[in-house]
Amino acid sequence: AAAIEAPMIPSVYLQANQKVLPVGTHVDGSQTVRNTVNAIMTARGAGYDVPNSLLHHYFWVSDKDHETVIDNEIMVNTTPIFHVDWENQDKNTSELLACARAVPTFARYSSLMALGHNVSISPDVRTSPIGLIGPLLNVEIAMTLRDPLNEESKPFPLSRKPATLGESLKAITIYPAAQQPMEDKIGSVEVSKHAYLVVLDQDITAVEPQEISEIKVLGTALDGRITHRDGIWKKVLRR
């Protein structure tokens, strides 16, 4: 939706939300954030309450729009690796925008996470190489502000407070489930929900943040049915 002209964005939201359909918009720039936030608020003002219309990426966001997102609980998705020094993102940020302007507007997703806001973190699936897709990779980046694939990576931006483990796990489980919306079926382990489970080879709460992306998946279950168990059997045999 970000590729269409700004005046058309409210029309898209109004028509979709009228049919109770959510809309997700790539908001790579601050102006697209403003256009989309205004469109969401226009649709809500017209009486269409679709809570899971979504801002994708959330890179550059002004104070005013950030406050509107918080006050109105507008759901957000972003890709953490795009906010660190991966692919010289730190240098590009400094070159494209003066530091005084970049610091307040860039990578604000972690401040939303600290508030308990509905934020999901994920790869930009259609364009990401396979090595960048793992959810635990995104958890590590959110917690360290570093690129796990680069040993020389430095925390960036220093103006941001890293997310906690609890915040990051919610951002790959219960919050994206609510964005579907499927929070009544998936996202947490509860009676009556589908048993979508992952077995890891380490306790994620016991390792250092910079080691999280190295955790291996031993097995998976989809709706209570084992769909992958190779790692579990190998671990049992080693014992």
Over residues 11-15, mean pLDDT: 96
Q: Does 161 have pLDDT greater than 60?
A: yes
- pLDDT for 102: 61
| pTM metric for this prediction | 0.89
Residues 23-33 have pLDDT tens digits of 999 998 889 99
Residue listed under structure tokens 């700004």: 6
- pLDDT for 236: 46
- pLDDT for 165: 98
Do the beta carbons of residue 88 and residue 149 sit within 8 Å?
no
CA dist., res. 122 & res. 197, Å (int): 18
- pLDDT for 7: 87
Do the beta carbons of residue 18 and residue 51 sit within 8 Å?
no
Give 197's strand partners: 221
Mean pLDDT of the chain: 89
| Residue 1 binned pLDDT confidence (cut-offs 50, 70, 90) | very low
- pLDDT for 86: 92
Write out the two tokens for 98.
Answer: 């003066």
End-to-end CA distance of the chain: 53
Give the CA dihedral 199, 169, 75, 84, nearest 10 degrees.
-110
Q: Does 75 have pLDDT greater than 80?
A: yes
Residue 60 DSSP SS3: strand
Q: Does 214 have pLDDT greater than 50?
A: yes
- pLDDT for 232: 66
| Residue 233 binned pLDDT confidence (cut-offs 50, 70, 90) | low
Write out the two tokens for 164.
Answer: 């906690």
Write out the two tokens for 90.
Answer: 């730190």
- pLDDT for 95: 75
Residues 95-130 have pLDDT tens digits of 766 656 666 788 999 999 999 999 999 988 766 777
- pLDDT for 93: 78
Q: Does 216 have pLDDT greater than 60?
A: yes
Over residues 54-82, mean pLDDT: 95
Give 55's strand partners: 25, 76
CA dist., res. 67 & res. 213, Å (int): 32
